[in-house]
Chains A and B, each alone.
Chain A
Amino acid sequence: MVEQKEKINIELKELVLYRLMSSRLPDNIEMAIGDISGEPMNIDKIIEHVKQGDEIGKIIIEMELNYLKALKEGVISSANIS
Protein backbone atom coordinates (compact mmCIF):
# COMPACT_ATOMS: atom_id res chain seq x y z
CA MET A 1 0.00 0.00 0.00
CA VAL A 2 2.78 2.43 1.04
CA GLU A 3 4.84 1.36 -1.98
CA GLN A 4 1.91 1.98 -4.31
CA LYS A 5 1.34 5.47 -2.79
CA GLU A 6 5.02 6.32 -3.26
CA LYS A 7 4.82 5.14 -6.88
CA ILE A 8 1.79 7.36 -7.49
CA ASN A 9 3.58 10.33 -5.89
CA ILE A 10 6.62 9.80 -8.13
CA GLU A 11 4.38 9.56 -11.20
CA LEU A 12 2.50 12.74 -10.24
CA LYS A 13 5.79 14.55 -9.72
CA GLU A 14 6.96 13.43 -13.16
CA LEU A 15 3.70 14.58 -14.70
CA VAL A 16 4.10 18.04 -13.15
CA LEU A 17 7.74 18.22 -14.25
CA TYR A 18 6.70 17.29 -17.79
CA ARG A 19 4.10 20.06 -17.81
CA LEU A 20 6.56 22.63 -16.43
CA MET A 21 9.23 21.72 -18.95
CA SER A 22 7.09 21.20 -22.04
CA SER A 23 5.25 24.49 -21.72
CA ARG A 24 7.87 26.80 -20.27
CA LEU A 25 7.00 30.18 -18.86
CA PRO A 26 9.07 32.97 -20.43
CA ASP A 27 12.08 33.96 -18.30
CA ASN A 28 10.62 37.37 -17.47
CA ILE A 29 7.64 35.85 -15.66
CA GLU A 30 8.48 34.97 -12.08
CA MET A 31 6.57 33.38 -9.23
CA ALA A 32 6.75 34.18 -5.53
CA ILE A 33 5.27 31.89 -2.92
CA GLY A 34 4.82 34.29 -0.02
CA ASP A 35 8.12 34.60 1.78
CA ILE A 36 8.86 30.88 1.54
CA SER A 37 10.47 31.35 -1.85
CA GLY A 38 12.42 34.48 -0.84
CA GLU A 39 12.88 36.33 -4.12
CA PRO A 40 10.44 35.53 -6.94
CA MET A 41 11.55 32.43 -8.90
CA ASN A 42 11.96 31.91 -12.62
CA ILE A 43 10.89 28.68 -14.29
CA ASP A 44 14.30 27.02 -13.84
CA LYS A 45 14.17 27.60 -10.07
CA ILE A 46 10.58 26.31 -9.94
CA ILE A 47 11.61 23.13 -11.76
CA GLU A 48 14.57 22.71 -9.38
CA HIS A 49 12.27 22.86 -6.33
CA VAL A 50 9.87 20.33 -7.83
CA LYS A 51 12.78 17.97 -8.57
CA GLN A 52 14.02 18.33 -4.99
CA GLY A 53 10.54 17.79 -3.60
CA ASP A 54 11.04 20.46 -0.93
CA GLU A 55 8.33 22.67 0.63
CA ILE A 56 8.10 24.91 -2.46
CA GLY A 57 8.17 21.92 -4.79
CA LYS A 58 5.27 20.31 -2.90
CA ILE A 59 3.19 23.49 -3.18
CA ILE A 60 3.85 23.68 -6.94
CA ILE A 61 2.89 20.02 -7.38
CA GLU A 62 -0.32 20.49 -5.36
CA MET A 63 -1.13 23.65 -7.32
CA GLU A 64 -0.67 21.92 -10.69
CA LEU A 65 -2.69 18.88 -9.64
CA ASN A 66 -5.54 21.08 -8.39
CA TYR A 67 -5.52 22.80 -11.77
CA LEU A 68 -5.65 19.51 -13.67
CA LYS A 69 -8.50 18.36 -11.43
CA ALA A 70 -10.42 21.59 -12.17
CA LEU A 71 -9.88 21.02 -15.89
CA LYS A 72 -11.07 17.41 -15.62
CA GLU A 73 -14.17 18.47 -13.70
CA GLY A 74 -14.90 21.15 -16.31
CA VAL A 75 -14.61 23.98 -13.75
CA ILE A 76 -12.24 25.65 -16.20
CA SER A 77 -11.26 25.00 -19.80
CA SER A 78 -7.86 25.28 -21.37
CA ALA A 79 -6.26 25.85 -24.73
CA ASN A 80 -2.89 24.82 -23.35
CA ILE A 81 -3.20 21.19 -22.33
CA SER A 82 0.10 19.44 -22.77
Chain B
Amino acid sequence: MVKCLITRPNHDKVTEYLSAWSSEIIKSGELKGISFLDLHGENASKKKVESYLFKQSPEVVLFNGHGSPSKVCGFKDEVLVENNINDFLLKDKIVYSLSCSSALVLGQSAIKKGAKSFIGYKQSFILCTDKNREATPLKDNIAYSFLEPSNRLSISILNGSSVNEASYKSKEEFKKEISKYSSTKSIPGADRVASALLWNMNNQVVLGDKESKI
Protein backbone atom coordinates (compact mmCIF):
# COMPACT_ATOMS: atom_id res chain seq x y z
CA MET B 1 0.00 0.00 0.00
CA VAL B 2 1.41 3.40 -1.05
CA LYS B 3 0.99 6.15 1.54
CA CYS B 4 0.10 9.66 0.43
CA LEU B 5 0.01 12.62 2.79
CA ILE B 6 -2.34 15.37 1.61
CA THR B 7 -2.88 18.75 3.29
CA ARG B 8 -6.18 20.55 2.70
CA PRO B 9 -6.61 23.72 4.78
CA ASN B 10 -9.87 25.55 4.15
CA HIS B 11 -9.80 28.90 5.96
CA ASP B 12 -10.47 31.28 3.06
CA LYS B 13 -12.02 31.23 -0.42
CA VAL B 14 -8.91 30.06 -2.24
CA THR B 15 -8.11 27.27 0.23
CA GLU B 16 -11.81 26.25 0.26
CA TYR B 17 -11.51 25.69 -3.48
CA LEU B 18 -8.19 23.85 -3.26
CA SER B 19 -9.54 21.70 -0.45
CA ALA B 20 -12.74 20.81 -2.31
CA TRP B 21 -10.99 20.03 -5.58
CA SER B 22 -8.20 18.00 -3.99
CA SER B 23 -10.85 15.84 -2.28
CA GLU B 24 -11.53 14.60 -5.82
CA ILE B 25 -8.07 13.00 -5.80
CA ILE B 26 -8.94 11.05 -2.66
CA LYS B 27 -12.28 9.98 -4.14
CA SER B 28 -10.83 9.18 -7.58
CA GLY B 29 -11.96 5.83 -8.92
CA GLU B 30 -8.75 5.71 -10.99
CA LEU B 31 -6.62 5.03 -7.93
CA LYS B 32 -6.02 1.64 -6.35
CA GLY B 33 -3.82 0.70 -3.39
CA ILE B 34 -3.32 4.21 -2.05
CA SER B 35 -3.69 4.97 1.64
CA PHE B 36 -4.39 8.69 2.14
CA LEU B 37 -3.29 10.52 5.27
CA ASP B 38 -5.75 13.38 4.88
CA LEU B 39 -5.02 16.52 6.91
CA HIS B 40 -8.15 18.53 6.26
CA GLY B 41 -9.14 21.92 7.72
CA GLU B 42 -7.53 22.68 11.06
CA ASN B 43 -5.76 19.30 10.95
CA ALA B 44 -3.45 20.84 8.36
CA SER B 45 -1.09 21.91 11.16
CA LYS B 46 2.70 21.90 11.43
CA LYS B 47 2.58 19.48 14.37
CA LYS B 48 0.55 16.90 12.46
CA VAL B 49 2.46 17.29 9.20
CA GLU B 50 5.81 16.82 10.95
CA SER B 51 4.50 13.84 12.89
CA TYR B 52 3.05 12.16 9.76
CA LEU B 53 6.16 12.81 7.69
CA PHE B 54 8.38 11.41 10.42
CA LYS B 55 6.34 8.44 11.68
CA GLN B 56 4.29 7.35 8.66
CA SER B 57 6.91 8.02 5.99
CA PRO B 58 4.53 8.60 3.06
CA GLU B 59 5.99 8.05 -0.42
CA VAL B 60 4.01 10.97 -1.87
CA VAL B 61 3.19 14.36 -0.31
CA LEU B 62 0.55 16.67 -1.81
CA PHE B 63 0.48 20.19 -0.37
CA ASN B 64 -2.55 22.40 -1.07
CA GLY B 65 -2.61 25.90 0.37
CA HIS B 66 -0.91 29.22 0.40
CA GLY B 67 2.83 29.51 0.15
CA SER B 68 5.81 31.63 -0.74
CA PRO B 69 9.22 30.90 -2.27
CA SER B 70 10.50 29.40 0.97
CA LYS B 71 7.46 27.76 2.56
CA VAL B 72 4.12 26.00 2.27
CA CYS B 73 1.31 26.81 4.67
CA GLY B 74 -1.61 25.05 6.29
CA PHE B 75 -4.68 26.06 8.24
CA LYS B 76 -4.79 29.82 8.89
CA ASP B 77 -1.46 30.04 7.03
CA GLU B 78 0.55 28.28 9.72
CA VAL B 79 3.90 27.39 8.14
CA LEU B 80 4.03 23.62 7.60
CA VAL B 81 7.37 23.14 5.89
CA GLU B 82 10.03 25.78 5.44
CA ASN B 83 13.35 26.06 3.70
CA ASN B 84 16.24 25.12 6.05
CA ILE B 85 13.89 24.64 9.00
CA ASN B 86 12.22 21.27 8.50
CA ASP B 87 12.51 20.55 4.77
CA PHE B 88 14.76 17.55 5.58
CA LEU B 89 11.47 15.78 6.43
CA LEU B 90 10.77 15.60 2.67
CA LYS B 91 13.77 13.28 2.13
CA ASP B 92 13.00 10.30 -0.16
CA LYS B 93 9.56 11.67 -1.01
CA ILE B 94 7.83 12.76 -4.18
CA VAL B 95 6.27 16.15 -3.45
CA TYR B 96 3.67 18.13 -5.37
CA SER B 97 3.01 21.58 -3.99
CA LEU B 98 -0.06 23.43 -5.21
CA SER B 99 0.94 26.68 -3.56
CA CYS B 100 2.45 29.91 -4.77
CA SER B 101 6.13 30.08 -5.71
CA SER B 102 7.28 27.23 -3.45
CA ALA B 103 9.37 25.62 -6.22
CA LEU B 104 11.62 28.65 -6.21
CA VAL B 105 13.46 28.15 -2.91
CA LEU B 106 11.80 25.40 -0.86
CA GLY B 107 11.70 23.02 -3.83
CA GLN B 108 15.38 23.49 -4.59
CA SER B 109 16.31 23.14 -0.95
CA ALA B 110 14.16 20.01 -0.46
CA ILE B 111 15.94 18.34 -3.38
CA LYS B 112 19.31 19.17 -1.83
CA LYS B 113 18.06 17.58 1.41
CA GLY B 114 17.20 14.35 -0.42
CA ALA B 115 13.62 14.70 -1.69
CA LYS B 116 13.25 12.51 -4.80
CA SER B 117 11.29 15.12 -6.76
CA PHE B 118 9.52 18.36 -6.11
CA ILE B 119 6.86 19.61 -8.51
CA GLY B 120 5.57 23.08 -7.90
CA TYR B 121 5.21 26.58 -9.25
CA LYS B 122 7.95 29.19 -9.72
CA GLN B 123 5.54 32.07 -9.27
CA SER B 124 2.07 32.72 -7.87
CA PHE B 125 -0.61 30.20 -8.81
CA ILE B 126 -3.54 32.10 -10.26
CA LEU B 127 -7.08 30.81 -9.74
CA CYS B 128 -10.16 32.14 -11.53
CA THR B 129 -13.54 31.32 -10.04
CA ASP B 130 -17.22 31.97 -10.66
CA LYS B 131 -18.62 34.06 -7.81
CA ASN B 132 -22.02 32.45 -8.31
CA ARG B 133 -20.53 29.02 -7.54
CA GLU B 134 -18.63 29.85 -4.35
CA ALA B 135 -20.93 27.71 -2.22
CA THR B 136 -20.42 24.72 -4.51
CA PRO B 137 -16.80 24.88 -5.72
CA LEU B 138 -16.97 21.49 -7.43
CA LYS B 139 -19.70 22.85 -9.73
CA ASP B 140 -17.57 25.85 -10.72
CA ASN B 141 -16.65 25.29 -14.38
CA ILE B 142 -14.12 28.12 -14.39
CA ALA B 143 -12.27 26.66 -11.39
CA TYR B 144 -12.39 23.25 -13.09
CA SER B 145 -10.13 24.60 -15.82
CA PHE B 146 -7.50 25.52 -13.23
CA LEU B 147 -7.75 22.66 -10.77
CA GLU B 148 -8.44 19.66 -13.00
CA PRO B 149 -4.98 19.96 -14.65
CA SER B 150 -3.52 20.05 -11.13
CA ASN B 151 -5.50 16.97 -10.07
CA ARG B 152 -4.35 15.18 -13.25
CA LEU B 153 -0.78 15.62 -12.04
CA SER B 154 -1.48 14.16 -8.57
CA ILE B 155 -3.54 11.26 -9.94
CA SER B 156 -0.87 10.43 -12.54
CA ILE B 157 1.84 10.28 -9.89
CA LEU B 158 -0.34 8.06 -7.70
CA ASN B 159 -1.09 5.87 -10.71
CA GLY B 160 2.60 5.17 -11.18
CA SER B 161 3.60 7.70 -13.84
CA SER B 162 7.02 9.30 -13.52
CA VAL B 163 6.90 12.87 -12.25
CA ASN B 164 7.90 14.11 -15.69
CA GLU B 165 5.04 12.18 -17.36
CA ALA B 166 2.65 13.47 -14.70
CA SER B 167 3.66 17.06 -15.36
CA TYR B 168 3.35 16.47 -19.12
CA LYS B 169 -0.21 15.16 -18.66
CA SER B 170 -1.05 18.12 -16.46
CA LYS B 171 0.28 20.55 -19.07
CA GLU B 172 -1.71 18.80 -21.80
CA GLU B 173 -4.84 19.43 -19.70
CA PHE B 174 -3.82 23.06 -19.26
CA LYS B 175 -3.38 23.40 -23.04
CA LYS B 176 -6.84 21.96 -23.67
CA GLU B 177 -8.36 24.49 -21.25
CA ILE B 178 -6.32 27.40 -22.69
CA SER B 179 -7.55 26.56 -26.16
CA LYS B 180 -11.15 26.43 -24.86
CA TYR B 181 -10.98 30.02 -23.59
CA SER B 182 -8.77 31.50 -26.30
CA SER B 183 -11.05 30.25 -29.06
CA THR B 184 -14.41 31.28 -27.63
CA LYS B 185 -16.28 34.52 -28.01
CA SER B 186 -19.12 33.39 -25.77
CA ILE B 187 -17.45 34.66 -22.58
CA PRO B 188 -16.36 38.30 -22.76
CA GLY B 189 -12.75 38.65 -21.67
CA ALA B 190 -12.15 34.89 -21.92
CA ASP B 191 -8.58 35.74 -22.97
CA ARG B 192 -7.94 36.78 -19.35
CA VAL B 193 -8.78 33.27 -18.18
CA ALA B 194 -6.62 31.77 -20.93
CA SER B 195 -3.69 34.00 -20.00
CA ALA B 196 -3.95 32.96 -16.32
CA LEU B 197 -3.98 29.28 -17.33
CA LEU B 198 -0.95 29.81 -19.55
CA TRP B 199 0.80 31.52 -16.64
CA ASN B 200 0.20 28.51 -14.35
CA MET B 201 1.25 26.05 -17.03
CA ASN B 202 4.49 27.86 -17.75
CA ASN B 203 5.32 28.20 -14.07
CA GLN B 204 4.87 24.51 -13.23
CA VAL B 205 8.30 22.91 -12.85
CA VAL B 206 9.72 19.49 -12.00
CA LEU B 207 12.80 19.52 -9.77
CA GLY B 208 15.05 16.63 -8.81
CA ASP B 209 14.83 13.20 -10.42
CA LYS B 210 12.40 13.59 -13.31
CA GLU B 211 12.01 9.84 -13.71
CA SER B 212 11.08 9.09 -10.11
CA LYS B 213 7.83 7.24 -9.55
CA ILE B 214 6.13 5.32 -6.76
Chain A residues with Cβ below 8 Å from B124 are 33-34, 36, 59
Looking at the complex, which one of B66, B67, B128, B191 makes contact with A80 (CB distance below 8 Å)?
B191
CB distance from A41 to the nearest CB of B (A): 10
| In the bound complex, CA of A35 to CA of B12 (Å) | 9
Closest A residue to B123 by CB, please name it. Answer: A59
| Contact of B184 with A by CB under 8 A | yes
| Cross-chain contact A40 with B127 (CB below 8 angstroms) | yes
| Cross-chain contact A66 with B198 (CB below 8 angstroms) | yes
Total A-B Cβ pairs within 8 A:
120
Interface residue count on the B side (C-beta < 8 Å): 39
| Cross-chain contact B188 with A26 (CB below 8 angstroms) | yes
Chain B residues with Cβ below 8 Å from A6 are none
Given the known interface contacts A26-B189, A40-B14, A63-B196, the answer about A79 and B182 at a Cβ–Cβ threshold of 8 Å is yes
Binds A, one of B40-48, B53-61, B129-137, B206-214: B129-137
Closest A residue to B179 by CB, please name it. Answer: A76
Looking at the complex, which one of B66, B77, B125, B183 makes contact with A78 (CB distance below 8 Å)?
B183
Closest B residue to A71 by CB, please name it. Answer: B182
Chain A residues with Cβ below 8 Å from B99 are 34
Chain A residues with Cβ below 8 Å from B187 are 25-26, 29
- In the complex, which residues 14-64 of chain A have their Cβ closer than 8 Å to any Cβ of chain B? 19-20, 23-36, 39-40, 42-43, 46, 59, 63-64
| Cross-chain contact A31 with B182 (CB below 8 angstroms) | no
Closest B residue to A27 by CB, please name it. Answer: B131
Chain A residues with Cβ below 8 Å from B129 are 29-32, 40
| Cross-chain contact A32 with B189 (CB below 8 angstroms) | no
| Cross-chain contact B13 with A77 (CB below 8 angstroms) | no
- In the complex, which residues 85-138 of chain B have their Cβ closer than 8 Å to any Cβ of chain A? 99-101, 123-132
| In the bound complex, CA of A52 to CA of B35 (Å) | 48
Known contacts A20-B192, A25-B189; 9 additional CB pairs below 8 A are A20-B189, A29-B131, A40-B13, A43-B192, A66-B195, A67-B198, A71-B182, A77-B179, A79-B182
Interface residues of A (CB under 8 A from B): 19-20, 23-36, 39-40, 42-43, 46, 59, 63-64, 66-67, 70-71, 76-82
23 A–B contacts from the bound complex (CB under 8 Å): A20-B192, A23-B189, A25-B193, A28-B132, A29-B129, A29-B142, A29-B189, A31-B196, A34-B124, A34-B126, A35-B12, A40-B127, A43-B189, A63-B196, A63-B199, A66-B199, A66-B202, A67-B199, A70-B198, A80-B182, A80-B184, A80-B189, A80-B190
